[in-house]
């Protein structure tokens, strides 16, 4: 399915959206391996909804055995004219904003019954600084806390392949990709 996403500046972008109802057991995960990548290469490691604060998907799936995975894909050919082929920052921002808005809107309607796996770091504090980044020991907005899907040990590459038959394209220096894709999940204790 295709949608037109309008950003805060009023610019429109065509995005491919897909979703699938799943059992949590369909999500490929390896907490130690995946969070090791976070520890070694992500500046958000040890903040908010990132490891080591994020629970392992294996633990989460016990309480939330059902869910929906949602992906959004931004084809590189739809980047604005004049944007460098190797610049993926706009695609990354548009996809993150759209999926995070969707996720927070849904959990806002069902705050006590869903577990939100977002496509990046937690943004539950909004414009305030994350309490963990301030050195505090607990989250000040636990009802809005979300966890990066990878922070729970989800192997996003394999999960996209297994669930949607989509091959993730990796950005390498100077390399153009056909698209950027992000995925999020909403897990539930009930199948409905």
pLDDT digit string, tens, across residues 113-139 = 999 999 877 777 778 888 877 888 788
CA-wise closest residue to 182 among 160, 162, 161, 152: 160
Q: Which pairing describes strands 179-188 and 12-23: parallel, antiparallel, or unpaired?
A: unpaired
Residue 47 has pLDDT above 80, yes or no: no
* Residues 22-36, mean pLDDT to the nearest whole number: 94
> Taking a C-beta distance cutoff of 8 angstroms, is the pair 176, 170 a contact?
no
Mean pLDDT within 177-181: 92
Domain ranges of the chain: 21-75+86-108+118-171
Per-residue pLDDT tens digits for 79-104: 888 888 778 888 988 999 999 999 99
Report the half-sphere exposure of 90 (CA within 13 A, side-chain side).
24
Mean pLDDT of 11-33: 95
The band of 174, judged by pLDDT with boundaries at 50, 70 and 90, is low
> How large is the greatest C-alpha to C-alpha distance in the chain, in angstroms?
48
Among residues of the chain, what percentage have pLDDT more than 90? Answer: 55
């Amino acid at each position: 399915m295709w949608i037109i996403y309008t950003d805060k500046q009023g610019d429109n972008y065509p995005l491919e959206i897909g979703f699938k109802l799943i059992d949590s057991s369909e999500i490929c995960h390896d907490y130690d391996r995946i969070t090791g990548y976070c520890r070694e290469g992500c500046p958000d490691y040890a903040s908010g909804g990132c490891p080591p604060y994020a629970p392992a998907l294996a633990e989460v799936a016990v309480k939330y055995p059902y869910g929906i995975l949602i992906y959004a894909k931004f084809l590189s050919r739809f980047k604005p004219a004049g944007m460098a082929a190797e610049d993926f920052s706009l695609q990354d921002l548009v996809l993150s904003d759209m999926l995070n808005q969707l996720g927070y809107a849904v959990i806002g309607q069902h705050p006590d019954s869903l577990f939100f796996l977002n496509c990046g770091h937690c943004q539950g504090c909004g414009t305030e600084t994350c309490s963990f980044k301030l050195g505090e020991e607990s989250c000040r907005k636990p009802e809005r806390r979300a966890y990066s899907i990878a922070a729970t040990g989800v192997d996003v590459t394999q999960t996209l392949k297994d669930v949607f038959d989509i091959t993730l394209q990796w950005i390498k220096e100077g390399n153009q990709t056909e698209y950027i894709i992000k995925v999020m999940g909403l897990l539930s204790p009930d199948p409905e």
